[in-house]
Amino acid sequence: MKNYFSSDFKLGVLGGGQLGKMLLTETHKFDIYTAILDGAADAPCAQICNEFHQGNLLDFDTVYNFGKKVDLLTIEIEHVNIDALLKLEQEGLEVYPQPSVLQSIQHKGKQKDFFVKNNIPTSPHKRFSSLNELKKEGLKFPFVWKSAQFGYDGTGVKIVKNQDDLNVLADTDCIVEDLIPFKNELAVIVARNKSGEIRTYPVVEMEFHPEANQVEYVVCPARISNEVAEKATNVALKVAASFKHIGLLAVELFQTEDDKILVNEVAPRTHNSGHYSIEASYTNQFEQHVRSILNLPLGSTASKVAGIMVNLVGAEGFSGDVIYENMEKILNMDGVTPHIYGKKQTRPFRKMGHVTIVNNNLDEARKIAENVKNTIRVVSY
């Protein structure tokens, strides 16, 4: 095994947002030297990594030159220059997740085609290169529209119910999916290292904000039968086996009315659906990511207690310097841990942090989570 700890080994990370910030907690724990590349000078990671580089993640030369300075390269966001990663990999740099995996996942059309090709259950879809091409198709309402690239946290996803909804869509490469009636949105995080060792986290359940299309709560374990949980885990394992990825893969799933499991989409990185693990799991997802990309033994994914995560997003009607109202009140609640991401400016629905609630009783945790949600407010002056 290479000596990664308290050594001259340099881990490079593309992206310096909140996922990177939480990853750095683990690299600090292991004393692994970490270099970050991000476009924003005030990125959450900027002040706390060993080495910070500002630059465009989609620019070939910027990513390539950064990659030449490190011993292994990983990501915390998938919107990066793939050609630069492919060249670095050809030249012998270890890049995880592998550029070929990112290439299949980064574009939602290619991602859906990959599912179909590998017999992974997913909703029917069609690909379009422009809004004009989509309008000519004469599709039946309602349907789900997704921008093929650069969508995140509800951005780039719309349920199109009528012609008016159709007219305000962005003119871009996109996919259209059947609107699936489902009971639950679930997720499974799969960790895989270079030796082929695989671990799955418990199935979690995601509750969404009806307007922002953002996750409001992540509940672990999901309130589903053992049979459905096993089915969801097996589908996630099939996805991981098909990609042969190294690192973490978050697999988002639908549980249909008749208990079928369909893959919605995947993310090849640490993920919002795994934040609960920082307080609730034996090995949190960020430590597991470090273990998997460095080909270290994977840690236990079991939960010590029930965990619920509440996303902290900017309140509607507020933009500017951020204030977290009623922080003292939530800190007075048992089992409550806030995580503030370090973004100085808030705006409506911007993801600013999260709060984890742990409890031996899941129903009790869910009640406290509701109380947290109704108490803390992310506002501005």
Nearest to 200 by CA among 148, 250, 145: 250
- Find the length of the chain: 381
Alpha helices for 82-130 (secondary structure H): 82-90, 99-106, 108-117
Q: How far apart are CA 209 and CA 369, in angstroms?
A: 14
Element (H, E) at 351: strand 351-359
Place of tokens 């008749």: 258
- Residue 148 has phi, psi (to 5 degrees) of -65, -30
Q: Which residues are annotated as a binding site?
A: 108, 146, 177-180, 185, 264-265
Nearest to 147 by CA among 79, 205, 86, 51: 79
Q: Which residues are annotated as a binding site for ATP?
A: 108, 146, 177-180, 185, 264-265
Dihedral sign for Cα atoms in the order 160, 166, 172, 176: positive
Q: How far apart are CA 272 and CA 21, in angstroms?
A: 13
Q: How far apart are CA 380 and CA 77, in angstroms?
A: 27
Q: What is the DSSP string of 239-277?
A: HHHHHT-SEEEEEEEEEETTS-EEEEEEESS--GGGTTH
Q: How far apart are CA 48 and CA 24, in angstroms?
A: 8
Nearest to 50 by CA among 70, 68, 65, 67: 70
Report the helix count and the strand count for the chain, using DSSP H and E: 12, 21
| Contact of 214 with 153, CB cutoff 8 Å | yes
Nearest to 313 by CA among 215, 218, 191: 215
- Cα first-last separation, the chain: 52
